[in-house]
Structure formats: C-alpha cells, structure tokens
A and B are shown apart, each in its own frame.
Chain A
C-alpha cells in the first residue's frame, strides 16, 4: 500500500493556496451591495446592467462590483458584520424596513454636506415621505430610489361578473366586506389574506390600532382595544365571513389566488405588477388598485411606504466616487431608464409623474401622500416584532387563540426584547 493520503493532502493544500491569490485588479473597484435581482432574464436586470456599464464608461478606470446578497435578514446580518469588521462595501442599498439598524448604529455617512455641496442634489425633487425615512434631524443618510405604498389590488373582471362596483377612495371596512361577500362565489374568494405582517399592519392602522407607540412600547398599544378589534375583524374575514381562504387552504393550494383569478382582491405593493404581467389568468388591463379601506366613514386613510435608496458607509474609502455613483443613479435620465422596468414607483416626482400614464399608475400616485414609513425605519430590531406578530396571528387564525391574550403576550415579548420593560 502506497502512502497516498499525505500526497492527496499536499495536492489539496497546493490547490487551496493557488486559490488564495486575490484576483489582480488594476482598476478602482467601487463595491455596491444590493439584494435585488441582477441576474434574471427580466427587463430590470438588463437595464441595471446597462446603467452600471454606462457609469463605468463615464468613469474610466472604475469597475463597479455589484455584490448581490440574497435574503433580507441575511442582507442585514452580513452588512452589519462587514461594517463591524471594516470590510463593508462603499455603497449599500438601504431598505426602509431595516434602515434603523444601520442609521442608529452610526455606520452610515451623513450625506447632508454632499447634498448641499456644489455637486449636490435637490431633495425637493423627491417625494417627501421617501426622504424622511432616512432623515434624522438635519442629517440625511440615504437618497431614495424607488418605493411603493401598500394598496388593495382588485380584479375588475371578477367585480363585473359579480355585479359589484369598483372600490373608491375613502371606502370603508363595511363596504369592503359587502363587496368581498358578493365576490365570494363559484369557488372564488372575495379576498386573499396571507399572514404577512407588513401586509396586514396597515389594516390595523386604519382601524386606529398599532403595534408600537411613539415611545416604542408595545404593551398598551399592540394589545389595545382598537388593535384587538382590528385583528378580530381581519380574523373574521376568514373564520366568520369566509370571504378569504384559510391559511391552511392557502398552503395546500400553493398557487397565488389573486394571480390565478381565484380571489378578487389582495393587499400588495407595486412590485406585484411585474408578476401579474406574466400571469396567464389575469390581464393587466383587468387590474385596479385602491387605498386600504378605513374603518369609519370620513376617516383619513393611511398605508405604509416601502422604499429603498442608496447609502454610503461612514468610513467609505472613496466617498467622492461613491457620491458620484449615488448622484448618477438617482439622476433624472438614469431613473427614467431604471424605472422603466416598473418594479417600483420612482422616488423622483418628475419621473413618477412621467410614468403615470395609465389609470393604474395614477391610482398608485394618489395613494402615495397617505403613506407613512415602516416601523423598521425608526425602530432597531423591528424584525423581531414582525416575526412575533406573525406568530401571534398564526395562533389566532390557526389555533383559535383569544385575540386579546395572544396580542398581550406578543406585546410583552416585544417590550422585553426591545428593552422597554
């Protein structure tokens, strides 16, 4: 028997060491972290690639390295660790849902000096509620790129078949329920409710409830009578009125009920349109959007704004180049190109209005002023609230738990986790 193992070990080590050599990069590399798609066969990927190539062409000697980090939680974890280690990318895409983690930990550069400088940006060109997401006093930590309010999508064909009038601005829960009942026929549902907390929390807001108070405390807010009543009302859509499939029915079906024209309404954002454009059982012309209904007539509606923008690391080694990229990417001509993919609404008012050339897009813009930032933009650790909120809702919907006690336990857990007890 020959002594083969040490030989193989040596071969492996040589291979390892061969792989240790960093690739020689004579160019200045601008590292940019994103979580979104750059690699599919969609228009957005192609446009993104063209825009980046154009930036490289305008900046000879610069190579843009897009670092695609999959998954929202992994994105935050990896970036935080890289910031701690001083190995962070130069520019990061900052999601409103997790903006607080980065802003409150002081890892981002205050862009106010760049904005006000000779090579600056006029923030008045952007929707104010998108700019506010990353603003702390006079400091601005990100330039918004695109966003969406959450809205109620409806299938006009199913409404017509059921003889139900389309939703209008200012519609109420009672009108919504009446429509949903009339639309629940022939094996189809009026509404589809997924236990996705970002999607159901705006309904709670419109019922006068919330999960956190202004001081960030959950007890007394998440278990308040208004929140309990709102969650009860949502639960009854499935349990009592049966106008939406149960969570287990949804899981068993697997397919998306609204996209398959098996449900007449759902709550979602602008991104939903890119998927619906390819859905075989519904046409874009059959889709309408409306604000999330309010509990009482005359009440001011509210929804959430999910936004993303560009931020620069506080200790960025090439802040000037990073700022040039941010300015380039958020400029009018580039945004005209980028937003043509239609995933979100452009945070620039001019481009957003330019693109609102259909009734559908116009309806979205009408809803924008009622948008408020998500809790994750101001509360660090809000991902815990969302995961616990979904567990509480699961308990209520699947196990028939009493809403008040389930929400109280949820509120106590949240306060303990956020250090508010």
Chain B
C-alpha cells in the first residue's frame, strides 16, 4: 500500500514535470501561425511534422547551421576543458610544489566571481585578438573552468600516491603518469565534468550573443531567441518546433549521462 502510494505520487510528479514538454511538442505539431490552442484543442487533428522540416531548412534563420555551431563549440570546449582542467588538477593534486595550496585557493576563490564580471574584459581581449565573430571567441575563453579543476583535483587527491611512486620506479615521468595512470582512474570525474560542461556550454546565451555578430556564427541558444523574435507570438508552432530541436540534444545527453550527474553532485557536495 505504501509502495503504491509512493508510485502514485512519483507518477503524478513525473506527469507534472513532463507536461510542459508534452505541451511544447503538441503545440509544435499545429499548423503554422495557429494561435496557442486551448487545452481542449491541444492535440492537433493532423500533426504537422513538416514544421520541423521548415525550421531546420529555413534559409534565413539557418537552424541546422546553429546546431552545427553548437555541436562544434560544445565538443571543443568539453574536450578542451577535460585536457586543460585535468592537467591543472594533476599539478595541484599530485605534484608537491611551494604555494600549491595558495594556487588552489586562488582557483577556488575565482569561483566566487560571477561570470558577467569578466565578460567585458574578455570581450575587449577578443576584439584585440580580432577573434570576435569567430569560433575562437566561442571556444577559447571557455577552455578552463575553476569548478572542473576543483572537481578533478578533489578526485585525484583520493587516488593512492603509491601508484605514482610505483610508476616513477618504472621510469615514468609526470606526463606518462598523468596519461596512463591517473586519467584512466579519473573516468567517473571526467564524465561528470564533461556532462556539466556540456550543459553549461549548450545553454550559454549571453556570451555567444556578445561574441558573434553574423547569422552563420550563432549558436542554437541565440538562434532560438531570433526565432522567438522572428516568429513571435503569431507563430507558436514553429517556435515550439525550434525549441524542441534545441532541447533534444540536451535530453539525449542527460539520459546518457544521468548517473554521472548524480555522482558529480555527490562528489562536489561531499568532498
């Protein structure tokens, strides 16, 4: 009985959380330019799947290009961060050097600054480098993350040092220990860092908006806003179709990386 009640409550909660997404999909299947339907008319008589085709192939608002940009930027930033942050974390966790704690403290302290504080100086730097409206402006400023350095460093601290010492006896240098001993053991932390980074990059709006000007350089998040402006209140079905297109990769990544998220919250919260 208790279990049944728990399931009923969970099903109700799940339905409550899924409802907006279901609404979004159903509205996206109404004829273009139809107003927001009443609840009674939410299920379309004839599903307009071509709305998705219309959104993806629009020549003026190239959603396919936005998607490609988002994927490219996300892949570069996620892979770049994993390399850069893990190297920094390795140095802080496995190499004893004077001031290591102070450096780590500075990393942690930098997490207290809101991202917007650094946006103007970074923007000016991008301008001076002539990187505005290029992939470099979208990728390079995101190649390091204090949070991921913190996360990976905490994980690496927990790996027995004897492994390093044994490797050193076998003649391994730091790069080999990093690549062949520590990194394979850090896979859970790396997966967590990758998942968090992917979500942050995929949903970032303001920086891609600042750093890019031309339509061909926009990412999906900014592109979707153009859709909002473009299609406006008069074309909800197309706008919802664009929202579904933007959301789908995140849903897929979340489903695949769900356990890493849970683990990440545990790691960053407990350690």
Q: In the complex, A31 Cα to B214 Cα: how many Å?
A: 9
Q: In A70-103, which residues have CB < 8 Å from any B CB? A: 70-71, 74, 78, 81, 84-87, 89
B184 & A260 in contact (Cβ 8 Å cutoff): no
Residue numbers of A with Cβ under 8 A of B are 1-3, 5-6, 8-9, 11-13, 15-17, 19-23, 31, 35-41, 45, 49, 65-71, 74, 78, 81, 84-87, 89, 254-256, 259-260, 274-275, 278-280
Q: What distance in Å separates the Cβ of A313 from its nearest Cβ neighbour in chain B?
A: 14
B33 & A278 in contact (Cβ 8 Å cutoff): yes
Q: In the complex, A37 Cα to B239 Cα: how many Å?
A: 13
A12 & B80 in contact (Cβ 8 Å cutoff): yes
The 8 closest A-B pairs by CB, nearest first: A19-B135, A39-B61, A9-B83, A70-B225, A39-B60, A3-B179, A20-B136, A37-B230
Cβ contacts B210-239/A at 8 Å (1 or 0 each): 100111100000100111111111110010
Interface centre among A35, A36, A78 (most CB of B within 10 A): A78
Known: A9-B80, A67-B213. 12 other contacts (CB 8 A): A19-B72, A20-B131, A38-B61, A39-B215, A40-B230, A41-B32, A68-B226, A70-B225, A78-B210, A254-B36, A256-B36, A280-B35
Q: Give the residues in chain B near A49, CB-CB below 8 Å.
A: 60
A81 & B226 in contact (Cβ 8 Å cutoff): no
B134 & A22 in contact (Cβ 8 Å cutoff): yes
Q: Give the residues in chain B near A41, CB-CB below 8 Å.
A: 32, 54, 58, 235, 238
Q: What distance in Å separates the Cβ of A45 from its nearest Cβ neighbour in chain B?
A: 6
Cβ contacts B83-103/A at 8 Å (1 or 0 each): 110100000000000000000
A1 & B184 in contact (Cβ 8 Å cutoff): yes
Q: In the complex, A74 Cα to B224 Cα: how many Å?
A: 14
A37 & B232 in contact (Cβ 8 Å cutoff): yes
Q: What distance in Å separates the Cβ of A280 from its nearest Cβ neighbour in chain B?
A: 7
A65 & B132 in contact (Cβ 8 Å cutoff): no
Q: In the complex, A66 Cα to B120 Cα: how many Å?
A: 24
Q: Does B146 contact A (CB under 8 A)?
A: no
Q: In the complex, A244 Cα to B225 Cα: how many Å?
A: 31
What's the A-B contact tally at a CB cutoff of 8 Å?
143
Q: In B36-51, which residues have CB < 8 Å from any A CB? A: 36-38
Q: What distance in Å separates the Cβ of B212 from its nearest Cβ neighbour in chain A?
A: 9
Query: A36's closest neighbor in chain B, by CB?
Result: B229
Query: B32's closest neighbor in chain A, by CB?
Result: A41
Q: In B151-173, which residues have CB < 8 Å from any A CB? A: none
Q: In the complex, A8 Cα to B79 Cα: how many Å?
A: 7
Query: A86's closest neighbor in chain B, by CB?
Result: B127
Q: What distance in Å separates the Cβ of A273 from its nearest Cβ neighbour in chain B?
A: 10
Q: What distance in Å separates the Cβ of B235 from its nearest Cβ neighbour in chain A?
A: 6
Q: In the complex, A350 Cα to B232 Cα: how many Å?
A: 29
Q: Does B245 contact A (CB under 8 A)?
A: no
Q: What distance in Å separates the Cβ of B167 from its nearest Cβ neighbour in chain A?
A: 12
Q: Give the residues in chain B near A21, CB-CB below 8 Å.
A: 134
Partner of B183, one of A5, A37, A39, A84: A5
Query: B176's closest neighbor in chain A, by CB?
Result: A3
Q: In the complex, A5 Cα to B226 Cα: how many Å?
A: 37
Q: In the complex, A263 Cα to B100 Cα: how many Å?
A: 68
Partner of A260, one of B35, B54, B75: B35
Q: Does B82 contact A (CB under 8 A)?
A: yes
Cβ contacts B50-84/A at 8 Å (1 or 0 each): 00001000101100000000001001100110111
Q: In the complex, A280 Cα to B206 Cα: how many Å?
A: 37
A45 & B230 in contact (Cβ 8 Å cutoff): yes
Q: Give the residues in chain B near A20, CB-CB below 8 Å.
A: 131, 134-136
A70 & B226 in contact (Cβ 8 Å cutoff): yes
Q: In the complex, A71 Cα to B238 Cα: how many Å?
A: 18
Q: In the complex, A35 Cα to B226 Cα: how many Å?
A: 8
Q: Give the residues in chain A near B108, CB-CB below 8 Å.
A: none
Q: In the complex, A192 Cα to B213 Cα: how many Å?
A: 38
Partner of A16, one of B33, B139, B175: B139
Q: Give the residues in chain B near A35, CB-CB below 8 Å.
A: 229
Partner of B79, one of A11, A38, A279: A11
List 16 A-B residue pairs with CB atoms under 8 Å apart, sorted by A's residue number: A2-B180, A5-B82, A9-B79, A13-B80, A16-B139, A19-B136, A20-B135, A35-B229, A40-B235, A41-B58, A65-B213, A69-B209, A70-B228, A255-B36, A256-B36, A275-B233
Q: In the complex, A139 Cα to B205 Cα: how many Å?
A: 36
Interface centre among B120, B209, B227 (most CB of A within 10 A): B209
Partner of B120, one of A9, A38, A81, A275: A81
A38 & B183 in contact (Cβ 8 Å cutoff): no
Q: Give the residues in chain A near B38, CB-CB below 8 Å.
A: 255, 260
Q: Does B263 contact A (CB under 8 A)?
A: no
Q: In the complex, A371 Cα to B96 Cα: how many Å?
A: 72
Q: Does B253 contact A (CB under 8 A)?
A: no
Q: Does B259 contact A (CB under 8 A)?
A: no
Q: Give the residues in chain A near B35, CB-CB below 8 Å.
A: 255-256, 259-260, 278-280
Q: Give the residues in chain A near B104, CB-CB below 8 Å.
A: none
Q: Give the residues in chain B near A39, CB-CB below 8 Å.
A: 58, 60-61, 215, 226-227, 230
A15 & B227 in contact (Cβ 8 Å cutoff): no
Interface centre among B72, B80, B132, B213 (most CB of A within 10 A): B213
Q: Give the residues in chain A near B228, CB-CB below 8 Å.
A: 70-71
